Amino acid sequence: MKSRREGPVLLCIDDNPAALKLRTLVLSNAGYAVLTATNGSAGLHLFTHNHIDLVISDHVLPDVPGDQLIEEMKRVKPHVPFLMLSGLPEAPEGVERKLFISKDMSLPDFLDTIRRLLEGRAASAVSPHE
């Protein structure tokens, strides 16, 4: 039985098992608890049935486009930030630039982007204006 880690919980969705394993290792070593899925349906199931602090999804999935998956997840839990990964150098049409990163981004920049998204979520959670 897994013990609950104290760090934020990230959901990683990617149909490439090697990329998913590597990303999980990197994120776990950075102090995050990581849940994984290899398609959008499994990712949506994990998302709806678990506490998730951030979603990192591949843009191209076998069963649903990543941007469509994110829209569905936003309907379920609008407060959870999302980060879309792609092999494309630019954000696909319809995807907000701040939510998109290229898979060739450096590891320090990748981890910094995650940290900033999580900090932004924490700041909005304690905002007196909500």
pLDDT of residue 15: 92
What is the model's pLDDT at position 65?
Answer: 83
Domain limits of the chain? 9-118
Q: Could you tell me the two tokens for 17? A: 């098992």
In the chain, how long is the greatest CA-to-CA distance?
43
* First-to-final CA distance of the chain: 37
Six-digit token pair at 32?
């995050």
- The fourth-level CATH superfamily of domain 9-118 is Response regulator (3.40.50.2300)
Q: What is the mean pLDDT of each run of 10 residues along the chain (130 residues)?
A: 66 94 96 96 96 93 86 93 76 55 84 92 45
Looking at residue 100, its pLDDT comes to: 63
Question: Given this model, what pLDDT does residue 94 score?
Answer: 54
Residue 125: predicted pLDDT:
44
CA dist 17 to 3, 13, 77, Å?
Answer: 24, 10, 26
In this prediction, residue 9 carries a pLDDT of 97
